[in-house]
Chains A and B, each alone.
Chain A
Amino acid sequence: MEYLIGIQGPDYVLVAADNVAASSIIQMKHDYDKMFKLSDKILLLCVGEAGDTVQFAEYIQKNVQLYKMRNGYELSPSAAANFTRKNLADYLRSRTPYHVNLLLAGHDDADGPGLFYMDYLASLAKAPFAAHGYGAFLTLSILDRYYRPDLTRDEAVDLLKKCVEELNRRFILNLPSFNVRLIDKDGIHDMEKISIGTK
């Protein structure tokens, strides 16, 4: 019932997450932010089991910041993704595995933009676009159809809106609004929230 999506462009990554924090059948919050800022140019989107998400994401967030304090420079998105995956893998075969599904999006001055897909079994894949949740079943084929590596930012936002429209049309659960952020060489930019009824 939670939904994450990421789209990588030639020099940016666009990510969005729904805003619902649910407990059983009740929406406890309508404006919950599922994105965690790891550094000035890296965002971690995290969904999964209640409690595990925040605990794991904050653990990764603090460790990435600690690396910067100790070494004087920040981890690259690829390094942060591999660090995250290693932690997931280590905890997977312990008595306390973290059941979380992640998207890590970042911009590196050397490597450019990157979007990394990770799941609770500690798999890691760098992908041009990715989605998590039941909504992914409905939106991945839209991304397959319309994605091009040279999408402009406006085209990427339109593609994102197409996906959200499809969720509102066919997904059985109500996801009224989505946080949208864009990462490029200048950092993380908050974009306009997508709600039911925005065109």
Chain B
Amino acid sequence: ILLSDGPSPAITPITPPTSVIAPLFIDTLCLDKCTTLREEVDDSFDINISVSDPEKVGDGMNAYMAYKVTTKTSMSLFKQREFSVKRRFSDFLGLHSKLASKYLHVGYIVPPAPEKSIVGMTKVKVGKEDQSSNEFVEKRRSALERYLMRTVKHHILLKDPDVLQFLESSELPRAVSTQALSSAGLLRMVNKAADAVNKMTIKMNESDAWFEEKQQHFESLDVQLRKLHISVESLVCHRKELSVNTAQFAKSAAMLGNSEDHTALSRALSQLAEVEEKMDQLHQDQANADFYLFSELLGDYVRLLAAVKGVFDHRIKTWQKWQDSQILLQKKREAEAKLQFTNKSDKLQQAKDEIKDMEGRVQQDERDFEQISRTIRKEVGRFEKERVKDFKTSIIKYLESLVLTQQQVIKSYFTFRYVTASV
């Protein structure tokens, strides 16, 4: 039971639209049980999370969508083998925010949460149960599921207490600071801007070519994925258009068949209308496959690459911190040297103490820098492995969807040919 402000809220279950609900070939990406770096986990990776049953809770502008998060696992990490909780979108954002603050700055690639959408959510809140708001909810549900699976696939994040609490605990404190227009939200925006400015002014002496190479690789990958994403989104759009236009043509052909006074031809035209109706349905299904199996994969990776970039940037910041403390140490040493020639023995002692502290800090900063560099190397390796697996699985599934569509097309036109031949 989620904490909510008002009295017992009305719960309106949302019926998923039949066109959006997966036909045979759209499994969610996460259903394949994948194994991760075995050498780094105790028991084998066996966990499957599904997000389902979106329900509208409350009314008006305070309404929100509650999703059921079901975990099925045999890992000893968890108290039970199968359990569910109810979560809302801001809970997911809250989880991400906590993980990001704990792990990003030490070099772990934390999967980004799905994006907010004020427009999309407002439609749902306002209560329109139409095609577009149903599609929005389904998109979000799928994105939340992928987000959780990506998070738990990370062997470190999986063990994080916040993650475990998110999955297991029936009650979760509201994550208020995730709201876009909250003070925390504004602070985030300011920080982002400051970071951007800093990035432009920090010039790092890269001693390790690997990092530069990888950064360039990810940058060009980002450009290419964005380009591909745009084309795939365009394909989804045009296929949806094709579906609508085919349906309209089918109706028109049926009318034409009705007015045709030659009986056999009239029958053939009605058959044409039927075929085109089937095509319309096939185009719609294919457009869904285009979206969920291809477009969303690309969108996810564009966002993931932003997280990767963030991690590289953190390394630069860590380096900068190290440089800064070295400079500070140098200054203190110079100050101490100057004090040697004066007679202020207490100040001198203080300076010597400060130098000792500073030396400690410099050593720590150097260790931090080396640590984050090591972590990033491992993370990049893990990320690339995941990327290869992800793309291969999704694209194979996508091609399978295309195969199915073509098979259906053949079936439909086969009957059609049979009828028209008898005109």
Whether A and B are associated in the same complex: the answer reads no
Residues of chain A touching chain B, judged by Cβ–Cβ distance below 8 Å, are none
